[in-house]
Amino acid sequence: MKIYSFPQGGISFDDTTVPPRDSSVIAFLPGLSVIPLVQHTGCRAYPVVSVGDFVREGMLIGRGQGAGSANVHATVPGRVVRMVSWKMGDNHINDALVIRMAGAFERLGKREEVFPWQGRSPFELQQLISEYGIVEMEGVGRPVSDTFTALRSRKEPYTLVLRCVFDDPWLAADYVLCRERIKAVVEGCVITASAARASRIVFAVSYKEKELGAQLLDEAEAVSPGLSLSLALVSSRYPQRNRRELTYTLGLYEKRDGLDFGSLLFLGPATAAAIHDAVKLRKPILDRYVAVGGSAVKTPQVMKVRIGTRIGEVFAECGGFIDTPQRIATGSPLRGRAVADLDEPIVKTTYGVFAILEKQMGGTAVRNCIGCGECRVVCPVGLDPKVLFKSIHTKQKEGAAWERAGECHGCGCCEVVCPSRLPLSTTIVNSIYGGNPDVP
C-alpha cells in the first residue's frame, strides 16, 4: 500500500525518555482533586456547587457558558473544600474547585450500564456529547458540540478522519489507548459520523502501525457494515499529524483513488473514546491516558490518570526525579507548555507531562544566529523563520517574507534544529496569534 506524505520540511523526531508503549498502569486516586473550570477554549464553566457541598463521582459541578465552553464534572466523590485560582503559562487566570475524596464511587469498579444509541437523531447525539462535556482532547479543548454546530451550516459532503498518526513519540498515550480501547475508539468514530452526518470515515494511520490500521478497519466494518471506510497510511515525519499537512496528504490519497472526501472533520482517538463513553455509557471524562516521562523521571510510564490529579503526584508515582529538572511541562517537548508548579492538575487535554534535565535540552544559553539555514530547510510550509524572527525583533514587519508569516502554525521544527537555541517558532506564533495557533 502506498505511503502518503507532505512535500517539504519536517523532522524525524525520536526521544528515548518517552515511556514504553506496551501497556498502561492505573494511577492512584487523588486524596485532593483540583478540577479546573476552564478545560476548553471558551470562558470558564459556571460553578453549580459551593464550598462545603458533597459531590458524587461524575456529577455536574460546572456548567458551560456559551460557545467554546463545556460542562465540567466531579471525577471523584467527596466534599468541595475550597476554590482556588492561579495564573496559567499563557497568563490567563483559571479557577478550580478542590474536592477532598470521601464516600462511595458510583462507577469505579462496577459494571457499566450500556445505552443503545442506534436510531437516535444527530441532534440527540450532539446533546449527549454536549451534556457530558466532551472536548477535543488532543488539541486546545474545543467543545465537540460546537464543531457539529459549525458543520450544520455547510452543504457539501464531508469525511470524518481519525488521526492515528504517531509522528511525535510523546503521543505514546494515544497509541496505548488505541490498543487497549480499540472497540471504544472505533464505535466513537461511528457515533460521531452519525451525529455529524459524515459520508465516510478515513483512518489515517502512520505506516509503521499498519497492523493497527487494519484492526481499526476490521472493527469499523463489524460495527457499521454499510458505512464507507478507508485506510490511508501516511508518513511518520513530524508534523504529519497537523491538520494542514494531513489535509494535503489525504488530498493525494483522494486523487489517486478517485474519491471525493469533501470537507474533513478530524478526530483523535482519545476524543473518539470519550464520545463513545458519553453516548453509550452516559459517562463524562473522568480520566485519561497520559504519557509521563523525561530524562529527570525515574520510571517513565503511560498512566490512566483521574482528571484533577496534581502533576506532582503523577511524577511521584513514577518514582520521582533522579535530579533537579530544568524544565517541567505538559504536552510534548516540541510544543509543550511549562507548568506554573507541581500542583497544577491533569485536565481533559493533557496527553503528556515531562520533566527534563539540562543535558537533554542541550543547554539553555541563547546565542546569535549563525546563518546555517537549517530552520528554513525543516519548515513544512517553506518559510524562512530566521528572517521572520529578525523582523519581529527589529519591528520591521514588511516585505515578501512577512506577508507569508500567517502560514506559520507553530509546529516548532525550526526551534528543534536551531544550534543557537533561538525561540524562533515561539516568537513568531506569539507575534502573529498572541499564543498557540489553533491548528493542532
Grid look-up 470519550 returns 274
User: Which grid coordinates are listed for 77?
Assistant: 466523590
**Confidence tier at 86 by pLDDT (50, 70, 90):** confident
State mean pLDDT over 312-334. 94
pLDDT for 362 equals 63
Give all strands of the β-sheet with 200-206 in edge-to-edge order: 228-234, 200-206, 158-164, 263-267
> 379-403, pLDDT tens digit by residue?
999 999 999 998 887 777 666 667 7
pLDDT-derived band at 46, boundaries 50, 70, 90: very high
Percent of the chain exceeding pLDDT 90 equals 73
pLDDT number for residue 154: 75
Q: What are the tens digits of pLDDT across the range 104-119?
A: 888 887 888 999 999 9
d(CA 296, CA 23): 21
Spell out the residues 6+ positions from residue 402 whose beta carbon is closer than 8 angstroms to its own. 388, 391
Residue 401: per-residue pLDDT:
66
Residue 403 has a pLDDT of: 75
* Dist CA 404 CA 382 (whole Å): 9
The string of pLDDT tens digits covering residues 212-266 is 999 999 999 998 878 899 999 999 999 999 999 999 999 999 998 888 998 899 9
% pLDDT > 70, the chain: 95
State how beta strands 228-234 and 327-330 pair: unpaired
The predicted pLDDT at position 295 comes to: 95
Helix, strand, coil % in the chain, rounded to nearest 5 = 30, 20, 45
Q: Grade residue 88 by pLDDT with cuts at 50, 70 and 90.
A: low
Query: Is 311 within 8 Å of 386 (Cβ atoms)?
Result: no
Distance CA 289, CA 176 (A): 8
Quote the pTM value.
0.94
Residue 93 or residue 172, greater confidence: 172
For the residues 126-153, what does the mean pLDDT come to? 92
The torsion angle over the Cα atoms of residues 212, 215, 220 and 222, rounded to 10 degrees, is -170
Lowest mean pLDDT among 6-10, 65-69, 173-177, 432-436: 432-436
Give residue 140's pLDDT: 87
Q: Are 440 and 138 in contact (CB under 8 A)?
A: yes
Q: Say yes or no to pLDDT of 175 above 80.
A: yes
Note the pLDDT tens digit of each residue in 252-308: 999 988 889 988 999 999 999 999 999 999 999 999 999 999 999 999 999 999 999
**Chain mean pLDDT for the chain:** 91
3-state secondary structure of 184: helix
